[in-house]
Every structure is written in structure tokens, then in C-alpha cells.
Amino acid sequence: MLSACLPAVSPREGRPVEAGTGKALVFGRIRVTSPEYRREFLSFSKDPMEHMLPPDPVFNLELRGIRPAGGAVRYASNPAPKVEGDGSFYWILPYGDYVLASNPRPYGSSRFDPQETTALARFSVPPGAGTVYLGTLEIVVRFGTVDLVDAFKGRETLYSILRLSVADEDGQASTCLLKRFPSVPEPRATVPMAPEPR
């Protein structure tokens, strides 16, 4: 089985969103925390000052569009879908089924190793939808003191993912959506992501 390229277009802020035929605007957020540090990491921020102590884990995302069984292409892949610094995302995607995967890395690493890819959540974009809210994917990670020392020395350190869950923050997310875009495609739907079992 082969994989193909999956375009995941991010609409331009401040303009009305037009998804096009057979596509919808999907939006949500990814929140990364750790029980040791009791704060939200800015794992998607491009500002190095926001990653100092401890060095935040970087989630190199991969978005996979699942193809129907029996075809030559198993899935279409986008190895770097755009995610805002606070973890929010806005993608225009064709109707269908998707898997969000990641390579958790220490800050400063942009390496993506397909052999170390971890599935995070699955979601669907239902036919006929114009805008789909997926929820907030909450990722709880763990790393120890040795991992921090290795990360400071520039060594690759994988963060362990302890727990995955999805929270419904539709009110706040929808407010942010409508501040960002003057209009979005209708009808709107809420179809929460399903976290992968750990």
C-alpha cells in the first residue's frame, strides 16, 4: 500500500471562508500538559522564548486522510498541517475520515520519524457539513530530569504520552472562530475527535 499527499489548506484570517464543493472548514485545538509542571505547554509556538524552562515538547503533527479499503493508496498524508501557537487549528478538508498522528520531540527538533509516529485521535468530516468543530484534544505527557538534561544538550528525547482526551469548548472556540473570520460555511456541526486508546 502507498500513501499520497493530502492538502490541508488553512484559510486566511480576516476573510470569509469558502470551503468549496465536497469540503468543510474544520477547527479545534490541541492542548499539551504534564502532571509534573502543572501548566499548558506552548508546543506549537514558533517563539523560542516560550520554550525555555522546561523545554516544551514539540509535536510534529501528521494528518492522514483514510482512503477506502481495496484501493492502491491506503491514506493521503500531510506531515505538517498548520497549527497556531496556542494549539488552535483551522483546516479546509474534503469530507471523509482522518487520523491525527505525532512524533513528540524536545524543543528545537523538527525531525519526523515515521517509525515513531503515534496516532493521537481520529475524526470525520461528514458530507454536507460546512464547518465542523472537533473539540480540544488534551494530551498529557511525562518526561523526567534526565530527559530535560538530554534536551538541553540537544539530544533527541521522546516524551511519553500518558493520556489523551477530548474536551468540548465549543462556546469559547466558536467565539475565537468568528473573531478570526467574518463568515464561515454553513451548516455548522460538532463532531468530536475520538482519542486513540493508550
DSSP string covering 143-157, please? --HHHHHHHHTT---
41 residue type, one letter:
F
pLDDT at residue 181 in the model: 97
Cell triple for 25:
472548514
pTM value is 0.85
The CB-side HSE value for 2 (13 A sphere, CA atoms) comes to 6
pLDDT at residue 105 in the model: 64
Burial 130-155 (b: 16+ CB within 10 A, else e): bbbbbbbbbbbbebeeebbebbeeee
pLDDT in tens, 76-126: 888 888 999 889 999 999 999 999 998 766 555 566 666 677 899 999 999
Ordered DSSP codes for 172-188: HHHHHHHHH-S---SSE
91 residue type, one letter:
W
pLDDT at residue 177 in the model: 96
pLDDT at residue 77 in the model: 83
Strands (E), the chain: 2-5, 23-33, 40-41, 57-66, 73-78, 88-94, 96-106, 118-125, 131-142, 160-167, 188-190, 194-195
